[in-house]
Amino acid sequence: MKQGFLAICSLFIMHGLVGQTFEWANSYGSQVNLQDFGNAVVADKAGYQYFTGRFGDSLIFANDTVYTFQKFGNSAYFFKQSPQGKPLWIRTFKGPSTTGEGLGAALDAYGNVYFTGSFRDTAIFAQTDTLIATSQKDIFLAKYYTSGSFKWAISESGNNDDIGYGVTTYDSFVYFGGEKSNGGAFLAKYDSSGTSKWKKTGGRGEIQDLNTDSSGDLYVTGSSVVSGIN
């Protein structure tokens, strides 16, 4: 069985030198012989961590177990841990034959956490928001409060396999990027209510990660074999 592995190190200063002391490690896995992946993590100033990735069939998380809709299927997970590594909550989405994966995570300054990735078929979030893929694989962007309460989810679609790799925030806006099969690299800006502000595509490649600075300037990285986004 292949299990996801989570670890955190504490940085400290001693005699002017920066060192690392290992503190703890957690492992979570499926009940069957499927592959589970940890793909992204973000931490707030207090040390709480938010993770996303993919699990198969079921995922045992402390005293809670989440399941995919189909046995031997896979789905995205989103969960939170305390600074001491204590599991606090876990969320996922389901659907009639959904397969999905979380690939990016980001926090804003207002107590919200955003996740992006991809899904197939139908993704049902918290029994309230339903996303339907119009291509083989669509991008999702989901917003949760740091308490674990679901806020909203939206999807972006192309013609074939579309994937969201990275997400970041600035003020009340969220930016996420990835690739679209019909347009190459993909980048979008949404406001905190889930309303699209703009979208850009271009080149033959993908955006793998993105971040903003304190002035709100946006930086992206990835790959392209022809002219990219501008």
Q: 167-225 pLDDT, tens per residue?
A: 999 999 999 999 987 668 999 999 999 999 999 988 778 999 999 999 999 999 998 76
Total structural domains within the chain:
1
Q: How far is CA 190 from CA 185, 193, 197, in A?
A: 17, 8, 5
pLDDT value for 14:
37
In a domain? residue 109: yes
In a domain? residue 203: yes
In a domain? residue 214: yes
Dihedral over Cα of 110, 113, 119, 122: its sign: negative
In a domain? residue 11: no
In a domain? residue 110: yes
In a domain? residue 216: yes
In a domain? residue 200: yes
pLDDT value for 230:
59
Residue reference for tokens 């841990």? 81
Q: What angle do CA 113, 125, 89 make, to 5 degrees?
A: 50
Contact 93, 74 (CB under 8 A): no
In a domain? residue 152: yes
Residues of the chain with pLDDT under 50: 1-18
Its domain, for residue 92, covers 28-224
